Structure 1
Amino acid sequence: MKTKAALLSAAASFVLAPMAYADGHEGERGRDGEVSIIYWQAPSTMNPYLSGGTKDIEAASLVVEPLARFDETGTIQPWLAEEIPTVENGGVSEDLTQITWKLSPGIVWSDGTPFTSADVKFTYEYCVNPEGGCAQGTYFEPVESVETPDDLTVVVTFKAPQPNPYTAFVGAESPIIQAAQFADCVGAAAASCTDENFGPVGTGPFVVEEFRTNDVISFAANPNYRVEGKPAFASVNFKGGGDAEAAGRAVMQTGEFDYAWNLQLAPEVIAQMETGGLGTPIAAFGTGVERVMLNNTNPDPALSDEERAVIRPHPFLGDPAVYNALSMALDRPLLSEIGYGAAGRPTCNWVAAPAAYASTSMTCDVQDLEGAKAMLEEAGYVDSDGNGVREKDGVELSMLFQTSTNAVRQDFQQLIKEWWEEIGFAIELRNVNASVFFGGDAGSPDTFQRFYADVEMYQNTFNGADPQAYLANGLCDKAPTPENQWQGDNVSRFCDPEYDALWEELSRTAGVEARAVIAKQLNDMMVQRGGMIPLVHRGRISAHANSLGGVVLNTWDSELWNIADWYRIGE
C-alpha cells in the first residue's frame, strides 16, 4: 500500500505537468460524434447574467460568447472582435474614457441572423436595468454608455478614465446575448423568460437542444459556427449532479465520460483514480480562493424573508475580536494538505493571484488557539454558565455554518467546527446540494447569495489578470437584496464607505504597479474588517479521457473556453 506521502507526490506530478497536443487535427464539422462532460454541480440556467455560479457560466460558454476572452496564461485574446483595442492602435482613447470595439465581419447567430453591434448594446442595457438583478453587474459598473455608429462598431464610454477597459463584454461572465431573442426579457421579466434562459441563441460552437435544469443538457454543433470544420464533435452530453468522486471515476476508471470538472477531492483519491488508466488529471493555479464568508447582516430565522440578510448589524460578527479569533483558530496548512495536496496553498488573501496583485501584509500560516481564546476573553466574551459557549451582553457565540455538499468541504467543516468550538463557539453545520447552493433561483432560500446563515464556505474566481471588477464585489450597492432578486455580488453584505472610495480610486488609476498597491489595500480591508476569512488558494483540478485531444485547462476564463478545438484521438 502506498503511503500518504507517496500519494501526495503522485498528485504533485500531475499538477505540475504541462499539457501539449499536436495541432492540425482537421476534418468535417461533427466528425467525432459525441463528447460527454460531467459537472457534479448541475447547471440551473444557461443565462450567465442570472447566476453567479461557475457551473452555469461555463455551461453557457458553449453557446454565448464575449468580444474577447482570456487564454490559459491570462492573456486577453480577441474572440468576436477583430482585435484587442489599445491606446497604441487607437482603440482606446488617450484619456482612457472610451474603448472602441470592431466586430469581426460575417459572424452570425446560430439561427443564421447577423451578429451586430446592436446585440452588444442590448446586452449592456439588459444588465444595467435596475429591475433585472443582473448577477454580473460589476463588469458594467464603470460604463456610462454604449453606442453603435455602425453594425460592426461598438463605442463604450466610461464614467471616468478607465485604466482597465477590458471589463464589459470580456470573459465568460460577460458574453453577448441576442437582442431579438431577449427583447421581451428585460428588467423584472428577466427571470421569467424560461425558454430564453434555458436555450439562448448564440455564436458559440454549440446550440442547446434540450435543457433539463439541475440534470442534463444536450447540445448539438452550431451549423453556423464561424470556423470551418469546428467543432469536431457533433453533440455534447453535459451531465450535471452527483459528486466530485463519482465524476472523477466516470472519466479515469469507467470511461463513461470524457471530461470531469473541478475534482475537489483529496489528492490520494485522485492518485488512486488515475491508476484506472482511462483518463488523466490536469491542474493549474488561477485566482480561486476557498474562503469563509462572514454575514455582515442578521440571518435570524425569527425575521421575515425580506428582512433576513438585509437588517444590520450581525449580533457579533462585526466585532474584530470575534472574526480575528475565528481566523486565528484555523490551521490553514493542514486544510490545504488534506484537501488539495500540491494543488492547495494556505492564503490570507481574497486576491491570491496574479502575483503582482497578491498582498504580502498578512500572515496566517500558524494556528493560535490560545491566542484566539485570549482575544475573546479580553473583549468580554466569557462562558459564564459553563456550557462551553462564550457570550456577551446575553448573546451567545452560536453560528450556523453552511456550504455546498462535497467531501472536501464537509471535511473542512468538521475540522473548523472542532477548532471554533474549542475557543468557545457553538457551531451547527449545514450543507446544501451544490446545484442549488450555486444556482440562480431567486426564489430559493438555499443559495449562497441569500446567505441565510452566519458563515458560509465556497470558492470563486475572476476572469483575466486584473481584479478591479472582482474587488467591486465588496461595494455597498452590490449586496444581494430582494430588490435585485438576490443577484448581487457582495455576498457578505460588507459595506464600508472607505472601501467604496478606495475602489473608485482604483478605477481611475493607471499602471500595474500603482493599481496593485490599491488592490492590495482593498484586499486587506475586506479581510481585516470582517468581510471574509480566506483559507486556501486552490488550483483547479479536472480530468479528461486519454482519447480526448485539444484540451487546454484555463483557470482565467471558462474552463470550456476552447471546446471548439477538442477532438477524439485515434478516430
Structure 2
Amino acid sequence: MKLKTLLMGAVASTAFAPMAFAEAHEGERGRDGEVKVIYWQAPSILNPYLSSGTKDVEASSLVLEPLGRYDETGALVPYLATEIPTLENGGVSEDLKTITWKLKDGLLWSDGTPFTANDVKFTADYCMNPEGGCAQLAKFEGVSSVEVIDDQTVKVTFSEPMPNPYGPFMGGQSPIIQAAQFADCTGAKAPECTEANFNPIGTGPFTVTEFRPNDVITMAANENFREAGKPAFATLTFKGGGDATAAGRAVMETGEFDYAWNLQLAPDVIAKMAEGGKGKPMSAFGTLVERLELNMTDASPDLPEGERATAKHPHPILSDEKVRRALSMAIDRELLVEVGYGQAGRATCNMVPAPELYASDNTDCLTQDIEGAKALLDEAGWTDTDGDGVRDKDGEKLALLYQTSTNAVRQDFQALIKDWWSQIGVETELRNIDSSVFFGGDPGSTDTFQRFYADVEMYANNFDGTDPQSYLAQRTCAKFPSPETQWQGENINRFCNEEYDAMVAELGRTGEMEKRGELAKKLNDMLTKDSYSILPLVDRGRVSAASNTLGGVVLNTWDSELWNAADWYRMEE
C-alpha cells in the first residue's frame, strides 16, 4: 500500500458535516434548555496545550475546535476546514512536505470577530515556542514552518516528507486558539494567563460563562456558531469531581445528569445502575490502555528542588532493566481485568493495542511468573540480607512509591500489585491523589502525573485517530516534563533512547502502510517488552452513560467524547 493510499484511506467524504451522525432535529438554537454533563475527574484548565489530562482536553473541546476531527470510525472529517487535504485534491504536495488547509467561509469566534488563517499559524507558534512547555508538542513533530497564504488558507511545511501530515490541527488534542486572546500568553508566560486559560474564546458550540477549577463549568450556546439551530441546548452545566460511582448513578439511577464520562467501575456495578431505568451505558474499544509508568529518573525528596525527576539523576533502582522486568513478571493481568473491567477490558502487553496494523503480537507479559521474577532480582543482586522480607542491595531497600488517581478500580489494582510485589521482596508504599489534581496541568503542583514525584504511577490515555505516529513521538528524549518547560511534556517517565528517536523520525517519513505498521510495533516493543519502562496492564473499553432523553450522542473513542455535542438534543421519554 503506497503513499497515496495512506493519505486517502482514512479520510471520509469531504462533504461530511457532523450532523450526518445525528437524527435530524430542526429548531431554534437553545430550544431544549439545559444539558448536564458529569466528569468525575474535574477539569482544572480549559487550554489543552497546557494539560494532557483527558478531562481537560475534552472539556475544552466544547469551546475550542480543530480544523478536522476523527469520527467514531476513526475516519478524518473536516470541521473548520472545507475538506481534509489529500494528494488527490491537491491539499498535500507530491513531495509530501506540505499540507495546505482551506478554511470555511464566514467563520467567527464566539466574540464575533473573524476566524482566520492567522489564528491557525499563531496556534502552531504558541505550541512550538521553545521558551514554553506545550503538552501537545508531539502533534507538531517535524513541522518546520506554518505559513499564512491568505485569510482562508494556511500551509504547514515539514522538514522531511511526511506521509501522515495529520498531526497539527487534527483532533481534540490540537484545536485552534484565538491569536488576539493569547497574544501576550506565549512562551514562559503561558501558564500565567489565567483569564485566557480558564475562559478561552472559541468556535465551538458553547462558550464559557463561569469556570470554577476542579468543580463546575457553566456554559451557554455560542450565538456565533456556524450551524443554524445548533446547539439545541441554551446552557450546559459541566460538573466535575466526586467518583465514577456517583457519576454513573446520577445518569442511570437518579436522572440528575444527562451524560457521565469514563465509568471506570466493575461491570456488575454498571449493570446494577442500568436497572435504574433513567439512562444506559455505552461502550467501545479504542486505544485506551491502563499502564504503569516506571520513573527512569530519581524523584527522591532528598534531592534539591529543580533536580528531582530530571535527567540529572537516573533512578537508583528502576534504571536496572532486570528490576523493571521482574515487576512486570509478578503481575497477573488477567486477574486485573476480571476484578476491574470484565468484558470491558482485555489484558495487554502493548501501549498501542489497536488498530490491528499497529498492534504488536507481544504476549510475553500475560503469564504471571512470581518465581521467575524472584530469580531475576537475585540475578540483579537484590537479596534479603536481614530477613525482613524486603530485598536490599548496597545498603538500599527495594522500596517503591506507587501513585495513581483516586478511583475504586485503581485502588483495587494498587492493592493487588502491592501484594504481588511483596511476594517477590519489594516494599511498596501506595498513594492516591484526587484525579482533578493528578491529571491537572498546574506547574506549581507537585502532585501531577506529569511532574511524577514517585517511582511508579498508573493511569490510562489514548491518541486521536487511528494512526499512532504522534502518540509514539511523545516518548522522544526532548519531551521530558521539566522545570524549564513548566513541567509540561509528554514523555512522562523520562525514557530516552537515541535509537527510539531515530525510529520515530523514520516512521514520520515512511508511507508504505505495511512498513509503518512494522515500525510502530518496534517502537511499541522498545517501550514495553524490550525496556519495560512502561508496563501495560489493560486494554480498556471506554464506558460512558447517556440519559434516555439525550439524543444525538455518538460514542467516539478516536477523539473527544464530546466531539458532536453540537448535535445533541432533548428527546421525549
Match of 1:226 in 2: 226
Match of 1:358 in 2: 359
Letter in 2 for 1:172: G
1:501 aligns to 2:502 (yes or no) = yes
Pairing of 1:436-451 with structure 2 (within 5 A): 436-451=437-452
After superposition, the C-alpha distances for 1:293-313 in whole angstroms (9 at most, x for unaligned) are 000000111012211101331
Match of 1:472 in 2: 473
Letter in 2 for 1:80: L
1-structure distance, mates of 2:477, 2:471? 14
2-structure distance, mates of 1:207, 1:531? 41
Match of 1:14 in 2: none
Letter in 2 for 1:264: Q
1:554 aligns to 2:565 (yes or no) = no
SS at structure 1 position matched to 2:217: strand
1-structure distance, mates of 2:143, 2:380? 44
- Stretches of structure 2 that go unaligned for 5 or more consecutive residues are 1-19
After superposition, the C-alpha distances for 1:98-147 in whole angstroms (9 at most, x for unaligned) are 00001011111111111100000000111111122111111112110011
SS at structure 2 position matched to 1:218: strand
Bigger drift between 390-399 and 159-168 goes to 390-399
After superposition, the C-alpha distances for 1:179-217 in whole angstroms (9 at most, x for unaligned) are 111111111111111111111110000000000011000
In the alignment of these two chains, the number of paired residues is 552
* Cα pair distance change 1:482/1:153, threshold 3 Å: same
1-structure distance, mates of 2:395, 2:322? 17
2-structure distance, mates of 1:150, 1:249? 51
Letter in 1 for 2:232: A
Match of 2:406 in 1: 405
SS at structure 1 position matched to 2:190: helix
Match of 2:7 in 1: none
1-structure distance, mates of 2:221, 2:382? 61
Contact 1:255 1:545 in 2 (8 A): yes
Match of 1:459 in 2: 460
Match of 2:112 in 1: 112
After superposition, the C-alpha distances for 1:20-67 in whole angstroms (9 at most, x for unaligned) are 987211111100000000000000011111101000000000001000
Match of 1:390 in 2: 391
Match of 1:173 in 2: 173
Contact 2:328 2:532 in 1 (8 A): no
Contact 1:321 1:375 in 2 (8 A): yes
Match of 1:25 in 2: 25
2-structure distance, mates of 1:123, 1:282? 34
2-structure distance, mates of 1:407, 1:240? 17
Letter in 2 for 1:457: M
1:537 pairs with one of 514, 539, 551: 539
Match of 1:126 in 2: 126
SS at structure 2 position matched to 1:149: strand
After TM superposition, the score normalised by the length of structure 1 is 0.96
Contact 1:315 1:395 in 2 (8 A): no
Letter in 1 for 2:542: R
Match of 2:345 in 1: 344
SS at structure 1 position matched to 2:42: coil
1-structure distance, mates of 2:498, 2:110? 45
* Cα pair distance change 1:165/1:281, threshold 3 Å: same
2-structure distance, mates of 1:464, 1:475? 20
Q: Which runs of 4+ in 1 moved over 6 A?
A: none
2-structure distance, mates of 1:246, 1:471? 34
Match of 2:493 in 1: 492
2-structure distance, mates of 1:211, 1:21? 30
2-structure distance, mates of 1:349, 1:514? 18
2-structure distance, mates of 1:23, 1:249? 27
- Stretches of structure 1 that go unaligned for 5 or more consecutive residues are 1-19
Pairing of 1:207-356 with structure 2 (within 5 A): 207-310=207-310, 311-356=312-357
Match of 1:427 in 2: 428
SS at structure 2 position matched to 1:164: coil
After superposition, the C-alpha distances for 1:262-289 in whole angstroms (9 at most, x for unaligned) are 0000111101101101010001111100
Report the CA distance between 1:361 and its aligned residue: 3.2
Contact 1:252 1:277 in 2 (8 A): yes
1:568 aligns to 2:573 (yes or no) = no
SS at structure 1 position matched to 2:341: helix
